[in-house]
Amino acid sequence: MPAAPLPDAWSRRLAALDRARKETGRDRRIAEPSGLDFCSNDYLGLRRDPRLAEAAAWAARNHGTGAGAARLLRGTTPIHAELEAELAAWKGAEACLLFNTGYQANATLLPSLVRKGDAIFSDALNHASLVDGCRMAKVGGTSVHIYAHLDLADLDRQLAAWRATAPEGSLALVITDAIFSMDGDAADLPGLQGLCDRHGALLLADEAHASGLLGPDGAGLAALQGASPHLRMGTLGKALGSAGAFVCGEAPLIRHLLNTARGFIFSTALPPPVVAAALEGLRVSRAEPWRRARALTLAGRLRRALGQPDQPSAIVPVLLGAETDAVRIAEALQARGFDVRAVRPPTVPEGTSRLRLTTGAHQQDKDVDALITTLKELL
């Protein structure tokens, strides 16, 4: 049977919202990928690697196409445990827990870690998943404090001010992107860790755009900078070429999340083929360091051509300011065969619309050079 007609009040509200989106030029549409990829997060070029495809096919034949249940019921296979063990060892952690997406991991672990009277301190430009995790934590009585982007002095002041009046037994959690997804800049994890040590706070670093790409063995920004955040979140659908996410840390923290993180407890587990592909992607990424070197070299080449300072990431933003300019130039690039997308508010702050370029091991020198030439013509 078809769905019932919407109530009149709902129809009017949705129509008004649709009109408002169209009037502001912010009506989103899903577009089929076409042209040379300069916008995905396939940093190591593993998404189409036949070794990952074969690993997924093997898992489907031997463990099924789906998990069939949540992890705490019947949804765990030997390869789930194997991937968690290898991820923990890779990150130098005691334990690891898989989640279905990076958004789910961040949004569900924050309210699981804090309670009424506690406080979260979040970088002003953290990913939306961390922002939404903060919103969920506030419902339970946790206070949320936003510190200026990358400003350790501001964070220090806010931590000290909160601690001076916090109820006895209250705890603090500092959260940050490791690599910020829209700007490609990096957090100072050793500096953050020092502040957290001084104030007795827990540090969570979201290494979604660093895992597999940065540091010794591709283990992330923390490994590159010599830092040891208490919790590290990473994703399996970017550099590692599959899907899903994970959180690594000391065993007591991971046991706590296993028992309290509602997004983990009440979700069907990642499908075995996805887990097997991620495991193979992890192994390939560690065995072939040329992939991360290639992605970072191309990003540096783009930045130099555009007159930008160096950053330890494969994300190269081209700030344009006006939404109309970002859309116009993105469409012109697409017409010339480059898959580049405009990023506009509310994804980024007002007045900072941009092109978000990314580089990967699968890209050719001639294509990067052609993109640079075309960008210079259009800008």
- Amino acid identity, position 255: R
- Are the C-beta atoms of residues 115 and 140 closer than 8 Å to each other? yes
DSSP summary character for residue 272? H
Q: What angle do CA 176, 347, 368 make, to 5 degrees?
A: 90
- Phi and psi at residue 141, to the nearest 5°: 100, 10
Q: What whole-number distance in Å separates Cα of residue 98 and Cα of residue 272?
A: 12
- Are the C-beta atoms of residues 75 and 68 closer than 8 Å to each other? yes
Q: What whole-number distance in Å separates Cα of residue 214 and Cα of residue 196?
A: 23
For residue 156, give every residue at least 6 positions away whose Cβ sits within 8 Å of its Cβ, in sequence order, or none: 195, 199
Secondary structure class of 202 (helix, strand, coil): strand
Active site residues: 181, 209, 238
**What pairing do the DSSP bridges indicate for beta strands 338-339 and 342-343?**
unpaired
Secondary structure class of 218 (helix, strand, coil): helix
Tokens at residue 320, please?
């344009």
Q: What angle do CA 43, 46, 49 make, to 5 degrees?
A: 160
Beta bridge partners of 315: 358
Tokens at residue 256, please?
């706590």
Extract the runs of DSSP E, i.e. beta strands, from 229-300.
231-235, 245-249
Burial of 47 (0-12, 13-18, 19+ CB in 10 A): buried
For residue 336, give every residue at least 6 positions away whose Cβ sits within 8 Å of its Cβ, in sequence order, or none: 374
Q: Half-sphere exposure of residue 343, counting CA atoms within 13 Å on the CB side?
A: 20
